[in-house]
Each structure stands twice: as structure tokens, then as C-alpha cells.
Amino acid sequence: TVFYTITFRNVGDESADDVVITNPIAESLIYVDGSAFGPGTDIEFSVDGGKSFGKAKDLTVSENGVTRSAIGKDFTHVRWVMKENLAAGAQGTARFAAVLQ
């Protein structure tokens, strides 16, 4: 299991709004369902190489002409969207786990 921890900080003198952290998931890894964590964020996923994002429960993929709900192996990116501005000097953490295919 690989654990990703992304630490971010606002080094500016003013609060930052619309902060979004996006992390690709390596092709050799499978996202561990339910492992994404980020206080004060909405967590979204992509199944199309980062072109679009949505809540895990809302994403679907087509496999052999059949549409099904997306699962960990389908996710290509994880994205954390801050719910509020990030104050000057403030920092945060975003995490997720993945396993080798």
C-alpha cells in the first residue's frame, strides 16, 4: 500500500479562494476506496484522465458496452476542493491510499 500525503500552505499575505488540489493516480496503482481524506474539502475523482471530476458515487464507466458504477481501479485522479478560503499562512493536508496492481 502506498500512502500519499499532500501538505499545502498559503504563503501569500492574503487569503486564497477557490483552492483546488489535484493529484493523479499512477497507472500502476489502484485507489483504495474510501481512503481519501482532507478536512474542510469536498473530495472528487476523475475516471477520464482528469478531464472531468465528480463524487465517487456519481461516476460511471463503460466496460464491454455495459455501464457500471466506478470503483477504485477506475479512478485516474483525486481532487480536493476547499470549502472555504485558505487564510494567509494557513496550511492543510490531503491524503489517499493506493495499492499496486
- In tens, the pLDDT along 54-71 reads 999 999 999 999 999 999
**pLDDT tens digits, 42-54:** 999 999 999 999 9
55: closest CA among 37, 79, 74? 79
Burial-class residue 49 by CB neighbours within 10 Å (0-12, 13-18, 19+). Answer: exposed
Q: Are 90 and 84 in contact (CB under 8 A)?
A: no
pLDDT digits (tens, 9 = 90+) for 9-40: 999 999 999 999 999 999 999 999 999 999 99
